[in-house]
Structure 1
Amino acid sequence: MADERPLLETRHLSAHYRGLAALHGVDLAIAPGEIVAVVGANGAGKSTLLRAIAGQVATAGEILFDGKPIARLAPHRISRLGVALVPEGRRLFPRLAVEDNLRLGAYARRGPERFRPLDLVFALFPRLRERLRQRAETLSGGEQQMLAIGRALMTAPRLLMLDEPSQGIMPRLVDDIFAAIARIRASGVTILIVEQRLVETLAIADRAYVMQTGRIVLAGAAAEIAGNAEVRRAYLGM
Structure 2
Amino acid sequence: MLSVHEVTTAYQGLVAISAVSIEVQKGEIVCVAGANGAGKSTLLKSIAGAERPRSGTVTFDGKRLDGMAQHHITATGIAYVPENRRLFPRLSVRDNLRLGSYLYRGDADREGPLDLVFKLFPRLSERLEQRAETLSGGEQQMLAIGRALMTRPRLLMLDEPSQGIMPKLVDEIFQAVKRIRDAGMTVLIVEQRMAECLEIADRAYILQTGRVLMQGPSAEIKGNPDVRKAYLGL
TM-score, with length taken from structure 1: 0.94
Choose from 53, 78, 82 the match for 2:77: 82
Choose from 143, 146, 170 the match for 1:147: 143
2:53 pairs with 1:21: no
Report the equivalent of 1:3: none
2:63 pairs with 1:68: yes
1:8, 1:64 within 8 Å by CA — same for their partners in 2?
yes
Which whole-Å CA distance do the structure 1 matches of 2:35 and 2:120 have between them?
A: 30
Gaps of 5+ in 1: 1-6
| Count of residue correspondences | 231
Gaps of 5+ in 2: none
Q: CA deviation at 1:111?
A: 1.3
Equivalent AA in structure 1 for residue 50 of structure 2: Q
Equivalent AA in structure 2 for residue 14 of structure 1: T
Which whole-Å CA distance do the structure 1 matches of 2:102 and 2:11 have between them?
A: 29
1:84, 1:159 within 8 Å by CA — same for their partners in 2?
yes
Equivalent AA in structure 2 for residue 78 of structure 1: I
Identity %: 62
Which whole-Å CA distance do the structure 2 matches of 1:14 and 1:113 have between them?
A: 40
Q: CA deviation at 1:237?
A: 6.1
Question: SS where residue 108 of structure 1 aligns?
Answer: helix
Q: CA deviation at 1:17?
A: 2.4
Q: CA deviation at 1:113?
A: 2.5
2:194, 2:232 within 8 Å by CA — same for their partners in 1?
no
Q: CA deviation at 1:222?
A: 0.7
Question: SS where residue 166 of structure 1 aligns?
Answer: coil
Choose from 23, 31, 44 the match for 2:25: 31
2:150 pairs with 1:134: no
User: Once structures 1 and 2 are overlaid, which stretch shifts more, 20-29 or 96-105?
Assistant: 20-29
1:37, 1:205 within 8 Å by CA — same for their partners in 2?
yes
1:37, 1:208 within 8 Å by CA — same for their partners in 2?
yes
- Measured on the aligned residues, the alpha-carbon RMSD in Å equals 1.1
Runs of 4+ in structure 1 deviating by more than 3 angstroms, as ranges, are none
* 1:192-221 C-alpha deviation (Å, 9 max, x unpaired): 001111111100000000111111111101
Matches within 5 A, 1:1-238: 7-59=1-53, 60-109=55-104, 110-234=106-230, 236=231, 238=233
